[in-house]
Structure 1
């Protein structure tokens, strides 16, 4: 099946890029919910999936709104008003979802459900008491963000921002049409139209707003996602460049030099934090006492080298991009 989106000169002029935290919420949750091979995200999924189950987030609101296949509720991906919106900004937009949008999304979810299945109780509540339900959905998204994305966000955001800056340069050098033609194997640009093959949703200019919003995503791989909610511009979330190495261990070429400045114990903790970990895990892996680890982490956090994120009953610590740069200085 092929979908075609026509472009006028005005549409091309209004084509823009944005990095969206909510697109990463939706696409990453779908990776976990699908339960199949997570592809380039296997390392991340192995860490996050047990936390998802422990917190009960594998059977909550997101499980109903983001099925492992088929349609995803459009209201979860409001149109970003800026190139780099915050999660809070997008959650505020979700809370302002209109009744008409919710009705449309719930109808689409029902249409895409397996034949003979009954609407889930949560979706009935969303239809009958939308304001209270939206508050619960936003709370669940925050909980998922803290355990599944916040500890990794600096790393993910770097990939997404690098993609935007790369394609912005390509636009300046070759034009928008060239960039559109290189987004994904299923997307081609031809004679004023963007063609998407193997699409199961309708995406036509008659049913969308002007322009096009292009959203790089770490977790959309291996496909593209679209959102079409008039009068807003259509959105196309595509796999960002560089996701193949996203979860590879970061180099620590300068560890000895860093240790001479901040000490061996703190440097050891930074190298252990190539993946987010709790105080208990760090104590077990490093051989340091839990009290010592806690003291060092406080100092590293004050220096902007680690961040802390609540994940259920635990607190996960993650290395910042500043720490990554320190530890990789001098790497070939």
Structure 2
């Protein structure tokens, strides 16, 4: 089968307990650029139980078509059930390109589908664009610990697939007047064919506050914080601002903060309104996870620290003097 028979750009809208995750809508903006370049449709794929909200939002974020598969067996993600649905849809409609969020479930689904379809999958992409003359997507991802970026093509097979980090792109503007074609597929699966079962969902204690990937204000600490107890000062500033605390890999490796709070190449990619880096030198691996923040404020006593090259505002000084002063000023301003 020739590559020209594969059409359209698909975006998987991942849901959790019926609620759509933002990463799918972030990818709708990138999918639109690819679809327009290919002169093809942008399609959303929604799988789950009670996913009407996700379907409605996928329409608002610009889908031309929405493929919907609902059923009790899809209430919770499983590799068997979701993989089966996605494979059946791919074999029936033959998409050209598939974008999936690089979440735990997205990574699992992408690899299962790619292997079954005998096509390529580029994992953990941070950028992508189209070679319009060839129709190939250029998938860009960090390599060798973030010291260089690789550009990967899937030129011989289709669909071309990639998983993309959450919070790497901004969500496009909603268009509530959009009128996508909704295609509902009745794909059922026997419970005995689903080899993994969800017994109970336990929420991590690290998820009880504001998730770092969803926070508008992030106060991050690095090696310059010197000890775990000093992160209480950053938490105080985060509480005043209504944000959360993050950290560099050095802080995580030292055991000062949990790995779920790590920002950077081997942690989370974040795009808050304000990112305050405290005692962080600014290694390229860390910058890869936060350089798309709206405003970056760096506090470091080393005036030559690389973090100042990307910061919108830089304060050269002792973090243990600067941060308490900032907290004091915000408390005065808020009458706290």
* Superposition TM-score, scaled by structure 2 size: 0.24
Normalized per residue, which structure has more strand? 2
More helix by share: 1
TM-score, with structure 1 as normaliser: 0.24
Relative contact order (C-alpha < 8 Å, sep 6+): which is higher? 1
